[in-house]
Structure 1
Amino acid sequence: MTEHINPRRDKRSTSSWFMHGALVIGLVSALIAFNNYQTWSSSPPGLDIYNPGANSGICQQVQKLSPRNKQVDQYVREKVDSVEYSREIINKLSGIIRIPSESYDDLGPIGEDDRWNIFFQVEHYIKAKYPTVFQNVKLDHANTHGLILTWEGSISPSEAKPILMLAHQDVVPVLAENVNDWTHPPYDGHYDGEIIWGRGATDDKGYLISIIESLDLLIKSGFKPKRTVILAFGCDEEISGENCGRPISDFLHKQYGDDGIYLIMDEGSTGIQREFEQSFAMVSVAEKGYLDIAINVSSMGGHASNPPDHNVIGILSEIVVAIESNPFPGKVTPKNPMFRFLECGAIHAPDSSFPMAVRRELGMVAQNDSTSQEHLANSLDDMRYYFKTSQSVGKINGGVKINAIPETASTMINLRLAVETSIAEVEAHYEALVGAIAKKHTLAFSGFHLPCSSEEKRKICMIGVDALEPAPVSPVDAEAYRILSGTIKNVLKPLGTDDELIVTPYLMPANTDTKFFWALTKNIYRFTPVNLVENLNRAHTTDEFIRADEFVREPLFFASLILNADDVVG
């Protein structure tokens, strides 16, 4: 599961902000805050539409969707429910975990840096474990290690757009000094009878095995698709995706063109969770944007015995203080998928578990009341980065000797852009802050779109790196989303004693390889069909794991989705 980082990338730093333990804490904090909030003397406009059970059309749920081909469906279910099958698929996941396919920020080009060669082992492994699949699909390579498996349907892609499922072969490295912190060695793929341990168990080798397993099951059942099914496995999702994710997208775009894909599925930072005493299947329909900003301050050096009032380190410090003192405001708006999630909670959660004051505020937010939008975001403070642009000063450098006045100092700031904002707005905010400081110290100033003068010695230069706009919000009224929702309801079960699993839109705070695929379809959904707990099953940290009883049923979900998507083909 990715975050967009590349020197650049600090993936699970984001996830630490957004784990669902924090979500629970945030909602509890919000309840306390709202209980102390002076409510309206009369109900605000729109409040009634958020009463539990209201027939308002908000967060409407589809019915369970079962494949029409009962024979194939029964075959898949019986296989998945068998003890022998469970043992086989667990062994397959354990085996691929044992291949340490780590991706590093400083990797050189494929074909030149030998560290890429580990991905030949991954390809060999899945070919050896899934001979039936590779006998029935067309295998293409994008930049050597990007794998594209095409199971051609009987109907032309121009008449029935293909379904595309993404996963990635790479994992984040395990630092040598942290190996002893693991309960089981990170690349042993240890199974203790309940849990499969190891780097990649959740992110993302479990997902990869599950989607290829779904094809294996369907092929062996005798199923012949009408709609083409494509699996694509990147090799560098953890370090930006430029070496495999983008080439895969370019390959598929050349094949199918704009809007040529019916549905894209990829890993999600959420799965099935229980909030407000209600079980939700959280489908991420958007991702926050991304931007790294580099700021460099230059001036004249000299001997430390005769320093200026403010040297470059002091000026850079002033810039950092200004940045942290001027955070981006937060607001909850109807454009944000998290607003839809809160609506679903208001409608479907038990009346006693969803704060009435939050429901009141939602009624005003729905009518674009800016005061309520800001107040609700501030009240949900522990969830604030779902509703605002985050900024984190991650690197700073300056000075080479204690008795020498430094000539340069630099910093890098990592930002995750709220869905309502843009790169241009963020750049304008930073140019205003830093430009004022440059003027104060009579330094030349080069903003994001001006060249940094090589002749000027006293200056501040700003550069934007790895810029990515917030992802388009995928539709929740599309046929593809309804099929996905119906499949979720048919295959997956709520947590606890809930009568119904509520499917809700959600927001992905990190970034996946889907960022390269926006032109191929509007229907991009990120969802992992398991209960993700403990910091996304501890992805990117020690003791990454996945529960075996949930993992073995993932292929049933993906096979059912393929069957249901095939059923709507004319």
Structure 2
Amino acid sequence: MTEPVDKRRDKNSKSPWVLHGALVIGLVSALIAIYNIPIQFSSSPELDNYGLGTESGICPQVPKLSPRNKQVEQYIREKVDSEEYHRKIINKLSGIIRIPSESYDDLGPIGEDDRWNIFFQVEGYIKASYPTVFANVKLDHANTHGLILTWEGSVPPSEAKPILMLAHQDVVPVLAENVKDWTYPPYDGHYDGEIIWGRGATDDKGYLISIIESVDLLIKSGYKPKRTVILAFGCDEEISGENCGRPISDFLRRQYGDDGIYLIMDEGSTGIQREFDQSFAMVSVAEKGYLDVGINVSSTGGHASNPPDHNVIGILSEIVVAIESNPFSGKVTPKNPMFRFLECGAIHAPESSFPKAVRRKLNKVAQNDIMGQEQLAHSLDDMRYFFQTSQSVGKINGGVKINAIPETASTLINLRLAVETSIAQVEEHYESLVHKIARKHGMAFAGFHSPCNPAEKRKICMFGVDALEPAPVSPVDAEPYRILSGTIKNVLKPLGSDDQLIVTPYLMPANTDTKFFWALTKNIFRFTPVNLVENLNRAHTTDEFIRAEEFVREPLFFATLILNADDVVD
């Protein structure tokens, strides 16, 4: 990696500040007086704000936040530290893993497709495992299998907004032919003394058990919350969430209204990680957008002995090549939470471990220098999809017989939208590429918002599927984020020999059910309080697992968060 030259000014050289000193000083004085603008002069503007030990206010860390109710906190800590408790909660996770609550892309409506019935077993298992919880909460159902547990607080929601914790009951299917590749059968919930194995161990049944366990512990401690606590469990997060995620959100919105929730916690994609030789708790405060683009090419068919120069498969191939040859540009901007993460690395990681080339460009990014933003993204190529819209051609279809000229060909392209972009910008980019190819071949063209008759020949049509704008970025300078940060500092530990755990904003490249909850609060945080390794503990693939020693402490984290959020209620 080539580093830019450090262009520090020679202290003996003359500068415009010397030549025009009186004018500049007068102008600066006026600005300070009129607008109260703090102006700092730096001999090295590319480095000073991000030097180690600087008092710049960048990536501030809150102190550990311990609940005021020491008796309840001590009760929960003693429980979570006991071997008997470990055995019980591990058995609970193993038990729910044994229910193969798989969700499929082709599921029919709830009540019509019998494959949904597995979720009655999940509900029954949770009720049987947590009788104390269900004796103290109100249970509501959203579209049959969406579960909403409400533990009412003593203060009305209009005065103390509720805290909402999300999880999902469904898991990604395991193909029959892949079962043999698992170390232990995927639905055995096997515990080998260190690791709990099975589909859903990390995504997301471990999270589900942990948050309901936290409420169970608080109830058994005798605690009575001031702030209402809501647990909501979707049934189809892995297949878009329309059947449970959206109905749950609609239910809560009717109950509490827009901006009626204090904060939302949901699963995260990174958790605790070690980067730049420093331990970070990575709290995702936003998600990338989502769009599937469909492209259909139609023409006349015929016998393969008399083909045109370019049939629909050839034209579609030309379109795919054009798309892959014109990827979206990437840039690091202050809007992206990953910029905040880089700032945290520059300030808190060991100087020798954080790339100087990155440190030198951070000021340019902060000053909205477009070239600097693009250069920084380029230098972070291994992280590029945090900063640019990704595109992946996932499906392609065309032709039914080798000696027949195909009449139609189609493709589906999956995109994850950068936080700075929009669906409209993506559509415009794709239309500009494909329209040129349609003109080249003398074909009609229908863009994303134009009508398209599938029977019409010699035409290229484009359409969008499952469109989702990038998520709003949750504020990190507000009370809920500070409470979450203080809780993390209090309960969780750094990795290895690090002396501190740095809490940092982060970006979720995938989507969770939180996409339905934007109207309920600005404070949405996606964070799993464990060290996620090997591609999220191999979630979505063979040998999914979670470490028992980390899993058993998750309820302490969530219970402490509930207590700390209660302490700020007047």
TM-score, normalisation: structure 1? 0.93
Question: Equivalents in 2 of 1:408, 1:521: separation in Å?
Answer: 46
User: Alpha-carbon deviations, 1:210-260, whole Å to 9, x = none?
Assistant: 000000000000000000000000000000000000000000000001000
Question: Equivalents in 2 of 1:356, 1:88: separation in Å?
Answer: 49
Indicate the residue corresponding to 2:126 in structure 1. Answer: 126
Question: Equivalents in 2 of 1:340, 1:324: separation in Å?
Answer: 30
Task: Kindly indicate whether the alpha-carbon contact (under 8 Å) linking 2:161 and 2:228 is maintained by their aligned counterparts in 1.
Answer: yes
Greater relative CO (CA pairs within 8 A, separation 6+): 1
Indicate the residue corresponding to 1:555 in structure 2. Answer: 555
Task: Kindly indicate whether the alpha-carbon contact (under 8 Å) linking 1:44 and 1:364 is maintained by their aligned counterparts in 2.
Answer: no
The residue type paired with residue 298 of structure 2 is: S
Indicate the residue corresponding to 2:280 in structure 1. Answer: 280
Task: Kindly indicate whether the alpha-carbon contact (under 8 Å) linking 2:169 and 2:205 is maintained by their aligned counterparts in 1.
Answer: yes
Indicate the residue corresponding to 1:37 in structure 2. Answer: 3
SS of the residue aligned with 2:480? helix
Residue 46 of structure 1 and its aligned partner are, at CA, apart by: 4.6
Unaligned segments of structure 1, at least 5 residues = 1-32
The residue type paired with residue 429 of structure 1 is: H
Indicate the residue corresponding to 1:209 in structure 2. Answer: 209
Indicate the residue corresponding to 1:543 in structure 2. Answer: 543
Indicate the residue corresponding to 2:323 in structure 1. Answer: 323
SS of the residue aligned with 1:136? coil
Residue 47 of structure 1 and its aligned partner are, at CA, apart by: 1.9
The residue type paired with residue 567 of structure 2 is: D
Indicate the residue corresponding to 2:429 in structure 1. Answer: 429
Indicate the residue corresponding to 2:476 in structure 1. Answer: 476
User: Alpha-carbon deviations, 1:145-199, whole Å to 9, x = none?
Assistant: 0000000000100000000000000000000000010000000000000000000
SS of the residue aligned with 2:402? coil
Residue 37 of structure 1 and its aligned partner are, at CA, apart by: 3.0
Alignment of 1:202-241 (within 5 A): 202-241=202-241
Does 1:98 pair with 2:102?
no
Residue 456 of structure 1 and its aligned partner are, at CA, apart by: 3.2
Question: Equivalents in 2 of 1:245, 1:456: separation in Å?
Answer: 38
Indicate the residue corresponding to 1:250 in structure 2. Answer: 250
The residue type paired with residue 236 of structure 1 is: D
SS of the residue aligned with 2:438? helix
User: Alpha-carbon deviations, 1:477-528, whole Å to 9, x = none?
Assistant: 1100000000000000000122211000000000000000000000000000
Indicate the residue corresponding to 1:509 in structure 2. Answer: 509
Indicate the residue corresponding to 2:399 in structure 1. Answer: 399
Indicate the residue corresponding to 2:492 in structure 1. Answer: 492
Question: Equivalents in 2 of 1:267, 1:455: separation in Å?
Answer: 44
Does 1:420 pair with 2:420?
yes
Residue 389 of structure 1 and its aligned partner are, at CA, apart by: 0.2
Task: Kindly indicate whether the alpha-carbon contact (under 8 Å) linking 1:444 and 1:456 is maintained by their aligned counterparts in 2.
Answer: no
SS of the residue aligned with 1:385? helix
Does 1:371 pair with 2:402?
no
Indicate the residue corresponding to 1:445 in structure 2. Answer: 445
Task: Kindly indicate whether the alpha-carbon contact (under 8 Å) linking 1:286 and 1:508 is maintained by their aligned counterparts in 2.
Answer: yes
Question: Equivalents in 2 of 1:398, 1:305: separation in Å?
Answer: 18
Question: Equivalents in 1 of 2:564, 2:555: separation in Å?
Answer: 14
Question: Equivalents in 2 of 1:568, 1:271: separation in Å?
Answer: 25
SS of the residue aligned with 1:217? helix
User: Alpha-carbon deviations, 1:308-352, whole Å to 9, x = none?
Assistant: 111111100000000000000000111110000000000001111
Indicate the residue corresponding to 1:382 in structure 2. Answer: 382
Indicate the residue corresponding to 1:565 in structure 2. Answer: 565
Indicate the residue corresponding to 1:20 in structure 2. Answer: none
Question: Equivalents in 2 of 1:454, 1:164: separation in Å?
Answer: 45
CA RMSD of superposed structures (Å): 0.8
Alignment of 1:154-165 (within 5 A): 154-165=154-165
Question: Equivalents in 2 of 1:356, 1:323: separation in Å?
Answer: 34
Task: Kindly indicate whether the alpha-carbon contact (under 8 Å) linking 1:139 and 1:150 is maintained by their aligned counterparts in 2.
Answer: yes
Indicate the residue corresponding to 1:107 in structure 2. Answer: 107
Aligned-pair identity in percent equals: 87
Q: Give 1 or 2 for the bigger CA radius of gyration.
A: 2
Residue 44 of structure 1 and its aligned partner are, at CA, apart by: 5.0
Question: Equivalents in 2 of 1:44, 1:403: separation in Å?
Answer: 69
User: 143-152 or 40-49, which moves further after superposition?
Assistant: 40-49
Question: Equivalents in 1 of 2:453, 2:109: separation in Å?
Answer: 31
TM-score, normalisation: structure 2? 0.93
Question: Equivalents in 2 of 1:266, 1:37: separation in Å?
Answer: 39
Question: Equivalents in 1 of 2:428, 2:237: separation in Å?
Answer: 30
Task: Kindly indicate whether the alpha-carbon contact (under 8 Å) linking 2:296 and 2:408 is maintained by their aligned counterparts in 1.
Answer: yes
Runs of 4+ in 1 over 6 A off after TM superposition: none
User: Alpha-carbon deviations, 1:394-428, whole Å to 9, x = none?
Assistant: 10000111111110000000000000000000000
User: Alpha-carbon deviations, 1:368-404, whole Å to 9, x = none?
Assistant: 1111111111111111100000000010000111111
Alignment of 1:348-367 (within 5 A): 348-367=348-367
The residue type paired with residue 231 of structure 1 is: L
Task: Kindly indicate whether the alpha-carbon contact (under 8 Å) linking 2:4 and 2:357 is maintained by their aligned counterparts in 1.
Answer: no
Unaligned segments of structure 2, at least 5 residues = 9-42
The residue type paired with residue 200 of structure 1 is: G
SS of the residue aligned with 1:139? strand
User: 218-227 or 348-357, which moves further after superposition?
Assistant: 348-357
Question: Equivalents in 2 of 1:128, 1:336: separation in Å?
Answer: 43
Question: Equivalents in 2 of 1:217, 1:233: separation in Å?
Answer: 19
Task: Kindly indicate whether the alpha-carbon contact (under 8 Å) linking 2:163 and 2:227 is maintained by their aligned counterparts in 1.
Answer: yes
SS of the residue aligned with 2:346? helix
The residue type paired with residue 224 of structure 1 is: K
Question: Equivalents in 1 of 2:67, 2:442: separation in Å?
Answer: 70
Question: Equivalents in 1 of 2:353, 2:432: separation in Å?
Answer: 44
Residue 362 of structure 1 and its aligned partner are, at CA, apart by: 0.8
Task: Kindly indicate whether the alpha-carbon contact (under 8 Å) linking 1:282 and 1:505 is maintained by their aligned counterparts in 2.
Answer: yes
Question: Equivalents in 2 of 1:469, 1:123: separation in Å?
Answer: 32
User: Alpha-carbon deviations, 1:240-282, whole Å to 9, x = none?
Assistant: 0000000000000000010000000000001111111110000
SS of the residue aligned with 1:210? helix
Question: Equivalents in 2 of 1:135, 1:386: separation in Å?
Answer: 44
Task: Kindly indicate whether the alpha-carbon contact (under 8 Å) linking 1:277 and 1:350 is maintained by their aligned counterparts in 2.
Answer: yes
Task: Kindly indicate whether the alpha-carbon contact (under 8 Å) linking 1:44 and 1:360 is maintained by their aligned counterparts in 2.
Answer: no
Question: Equivalents in 2 of 1:364, 1:434: separation in Å?
Answer: 35
Indicate the residue corresponding to 2:117 in structure 1. Answer: 117
Question: Equivalents in 1 of 2:354, 2:108: separation in Å?
Answer: 51
**In structure 2, do the counterparts of structure 1 residues 511 and 54 end up closer, same or farther at CA, with 3 Å as the change threshold?**
same
Task: Kindly indicate whether the alpha-carbon contact (under 8 Å) linking 1:265 and 1:524 is maintained by their aligned counterparts in 2.
Answer: yes
SS of the residue aligned with 2:135? helix
Question: Equivalents in 2 of 1:173, 1:354: separation in Å?
Answer: 40
Residue 457 of structure 1 and its aligned partner are, at CA, apart by: 1.4
SS of the residue aligned with 1:518? coil
Indicate the residue corresponding to 1:13 in structure 2. Answer: none
Indicate the residue corresponding to 2:35 in structure 1. Answer: none
The residue type paired with residue 92 of structure 2 is: K
SS of the residue aligned with 1:338? helix
Question: Equivalents in 1 of 2:323, 2:488: separation in Å?
Answer: 43
The residue type paired with residue 334 of structure 2 is: P
Task: Kindly indicate whether the alpha-carbon contact (under 8 Å) linking 2:387 and 2:418 is maintained by their aligned counterparts in 1.
Answer: yes
Question: Equivalents in 2 of 1:358, 1:458: separation in Å?
Answer: 50
Question: Equivalents in 2 of 1:286, 1:379: separation in Å?
Answer: 23
Question: Equivalents in 2 of 1:83, 1:488: separation in Å?
Answer: 23
Does 1:141 pair with 2:107?
no
The residue type paired with residue 180 of structure 1 is: K
